[in-house]
A = this chain, B = another copy of it.
Amino acid sequence: MTQKPAVLIDPHFRRMEEIFSSADLRRLRELADVRWGRDEPMPLEQARRELTEAVAVVCSSWRYGDVLTHAGTPNLRAIIDVGGSFPVGLDYGRCFDRRIRVLTAAPAFGRQVAEMALAMALAATRDVAAGDRAMREGKERWLHAGNEGTFLLFGKRAGMIGYGSLARALRPLLGPFSCSLHVYDPWLAPGYLRSLGLEPLGLEALLETSDVIFVLSAPTIENRALLSRERLVRIRPSAVLVLMSRAYVVDFDALTEMVMAGRFKAAIDVFPREPLPLDHPIRRAPGAVLSAHRAGSVREGLWDIGRMVVDDLESIVLGLPPQQLQVAQPELVGRQVPGSAES
């Protein structure tokens, strides 16, 4: 009987049962000789010892220092981060030189964040949250009178800022609404976007013409406060901005002012400080739908992480390229801003 390859499972800030369903845990143990596999962080010295044998490591950041020499990790084929972004402090160049795959489980959040993006978008376009609030305050307006300022998603122009794994998970949910889809993503060439049936658009044009704007881009060294005050003012009065990925990409003060002023509506799941200070004015904005960073942490949704990790470990153990998670690319890795998707 052949020996199973060693895989170090050290998800630390995630818990084992949080990311692995029992079925996937069984698959994992069948596939690999699981080292560690506990909730608490593995003691560092022990981890470095295990890495001399491991074919792959599943972690929530890179905390093992400079072991990526051939002597330190002779068998290592893959580093899989389940925190939500690419790991910080890793020598990516050495990984590429040694053909070690660096993966992030970020795409595993796609389904649940996409569902929440649609839920929050519809809650704003159809005044579901505001209407519910009005009913509770006894101030509701019935029938047509209660639908001032609402609109249907059917056939509208949807703008996506960032077309990565969140956007790809969102797209099928928008399919039945026959929206025209416009994308601003400086990391994807226009011909490729067109081949997907999407219309590439400059950021200003997207803001000026979209009925619903989904902010889905991961943070990069280029997009801090990309949605500046100057750009936010371009948004149409009737539009809805849905902020799902990171507050980092928005001038949040400007956004707050404009939503407070009723310039447009916004559905917001991520904030510049979390928990958000209790006196933050956005908490009182009538045109906002607010969520406490809850899009990506539904219990059953987190099992998507484990499922995709085990799928890719299957590939890695077989000597094949991984297929499910996002692989670090030499062209992009220096431009991404690592850090947990949850912070």
Q: Does A146 contact B (CB under 8 A)?
A: yes
Q: Are B96 and A314 in contact (CB under 8 A)?
A: no
Q: Does A4 contact B (CB under 8 A)?
A: no
Identical chains in the assembly: 4
Q: Which of A188-206 contact B (CB under 8 A)?
A: 188-192, 195
Bound Cα distance A172, B177 (Å): 9
Q: Which of A130-146 contact B (CB under 8 A)?
A: 131-136, 138, 140-144, 146
From residue A231, how far is it (CB to closest CB) to chain B in Å?
A: 22
Interface string of A170-189 (1 = CB under 8 A from B): 00110111000000000111
Q: Does A42 contact B (CB under 8 A)?
A: no
Q: Are A187 and B291 in contact (CB under 8 A)?
A: no
Residues from chain B with a CB closer than 8 A to the CB of A153 are 115
Interface string of A241-280 (1 = CB under 8 A from B): 0000000000000000000000000000000001110100
Q: Are B131 and A292 in contact (CB under 8 A)?
A: yes
Residues from chain B with a CB closer than 8 A to the CB of A307 are 191, 195
Indicate which residue in B135, B147, B330 contacts A299 across the interface (CB closer than 8 Å).
Answer: B147
Q: Are A141 and B292 in contact (CB under 8 A)?
A: yes
Residues from chain B with a CB closer than 8 A to the CB of A99 are 96, 330-331
Bound Cα distance A312, B191 (Å): 8
Indicate which residue in B122, B136, B290 contacts A119 across the interface (CB closer than 8 Å).
Answer: B122
Q: Are B132 and A122 in contact (CB under 8 A)?
A: no
Q: Are B321 and A329 in contact (CB under 8 A)?
A: yes
Q: Are B115 and A154 in contact (CB under 8 A)?
A: yes
Bound Cα distance A40, B297 (Å): 54
Bound Cα distance A147, B312 (Å): 28
Bound Cα distance A231, B95 (Å): 41
Residues from chain B with a CB closer than 8 A to the CB of A297 are 143-144, 146-147
Q: Does A49 contact B (CB under 8 A)?
A: no
Residues from chain B with a CB closer than 8 A to the CB of A69 are none
Q: Does A310 contact B (CB under 8 A)?
A: yes
Q: Does A36 contact B (CB under 8 A)?
A: no
Indicate which residue in B131, B284, B292, B298 contacts A294 across the interface (CB closer than 8 Å).
Answer: B131
Q: Which of A117-132 contact B (CB under 8 A)?
A: 118-120, 122-123, 125-129, 131-132
Supposing A297-B143, A298-B147 touch, asked if A120 and B112 sit within 8 A by C-beta, the answer is: no
Closest CB pairs A-B (n = 3): A191-B311, A119-B122, A189-B314
Beyond A115-B126, A129-B129, A143-B294, 17 additional contacts (C-beta under 8 Å) are: A115-B154, A119-B122, A122-B122, A127-B294, A128-B128, A132-B290, A136-B283, A138-B278, A140-B275, A143-B342, A146-B297, A175-B176, A189-B311, A189-B323, A192-B315, A192-B324, A321-B329
A contacts, CB < 8 Å to B: 27, 96-97, 99, 111-112, 115-116, 118-120, 122-123, 125-129, 131-136, 138, 140-144, 146-147, 150-154, 172-173, 175-177, 187-192, 195, 274-276, 278, 283-284, 288-294, 297-301, 307-308, 310-312, 314-315, 318-321, 323-324, 329-332, 342
- 5 chain-A/chain-B pairs, Cβ below 8 angstroms: A135-B283, A135-B291, A135-B292, A146-B292, A191-B324
